[in-house]
Amino acid sequence: MHTLILSISFSVAVSIFLKLARSGGIRVDQAIAVNYATAVALSLWLLRPPLDTLFQQPPAVWLILSLLGVLLPSVFLVMAAAVRRAGIVRSDTAQRLSLILPILAAFLVFHEALSGRKAIGIALALCALVCLLTRPRAASAAPAPVSAASDDGAQGTASRGWLVLLGVWAGYGCIDILFKQMARIGAGFTGSLLLSFALAGLLMGLWLLLRGTRWHARSLMSGILLGGLNFGNIYFYIRAHQSYPDNPTLVFAAMNIGVISIGTLVGAGLFRERLSALNMLGIGLALGAIVLLFPR
């Protein structure tokens, strides 16, 4: 059970890092680039993938790895924006609700049977997304007049809030589908995970170089911390599955419910995030959806 607790803690810690990064003067894109270099080093040290056959992957696997190389850093940037604009609670919940996409892929692509329990879970998940994506409006009896420009700016910010949360939901869902497809065609998980980190780090580094980035020492050093947290989440998640090889449902459900529950406590307690009744309803529906979407 300690592996699950550690994985949940690392996942929430990543969100806290992203929440604090801006106020700490950390440039998230540079931290993310170093994060993948750190993850590669930790993968080599702790997972010990078979290096002699590392590059002997089928063409389909290389296609998946290429997509992951683009999506992993991109979604990380979107997640950072979501944590800043929408808070830890809604960002983490949107990430966990992304499980609906691989579940739909299981029905539409992998031809898994749809039970009534899963159908109810999918409906609850969609309702939860609507509740979570609805921002509370500040009520005022006599609102101060605003200019057309400021009104347009406020509407633009709200629109971007919706977009980044939807980006988190869709991005993490697609990544999960790609990992499931990789496992389905028989790719070694440790080797493919190492290659995914390496490709993501390479593409992120090239993107920063092409932009003429001026390197920031604090951001680069903080990337080591971020990489440790990010890898710790994945590493202990794998260890949890190894600890419960005959009960993956326990790992899936406990991980998702644990992250949402602890994220709620951290967001409300540490950062004083204000949630509307509709947002709280969305969190409750999300927990119910996650329970229903996993088989007994």
The whole-angstrom separation of Cα 25 and Cα 222 is 11
What integer pLDDT is reported at residue 146 of this predicted model? 41
Run means of pLDDT, 10 residues per run, the chain, 296 residues? 85 86 86 94 89 82 87 86 81 78 76 77 81 58 41 50 87 82 67 88 91 90 94 81 64 70 76 78 82 70
Geometric angle at alpha carbon 11, from 7 and 13, rounded to 5°: 115
Rg (CA), the chain: 20
Cβ–Cβ < 8 Å for 221, 17: no
Any domain includes 84: yes
Is 122 in a helix, a strand, or coil?
A: helix
What integer pLDDT is reported at residue 4 of this predicted model? 82
Any domain includes 41: yes
Q: What share of the chain is helix, strand, coil (3-state, %, to 5)?
A: 80, 0, 20
Any domain includes 144: no
Q: How many domains does the chain have?
A: 1
Any domain includes 143: no
Question: DSSP code of 110?
Answer: S
Tokens of residue 215, six digits: 């390197």
Any domain includes 161: yes
Any domain includes 210: yes
User: Helix 116-133 and helix 148-184: axis angle, to 10°?
Assistant: 150
The candidate with the shortest Cα–Cα distance to 164, out of 91, 70, 92, 68, is: 91
* Domain limits for position 266: 2-135+153-293
Any domain includes 26: yes
Residues 6+ apart with CB under 8 A from 163: none
Q: What is the pTM of this model?
A: 0.73
What integer pLDDT is reported at residue 296 of this predicted model? 64
Any domain includes 23: yes
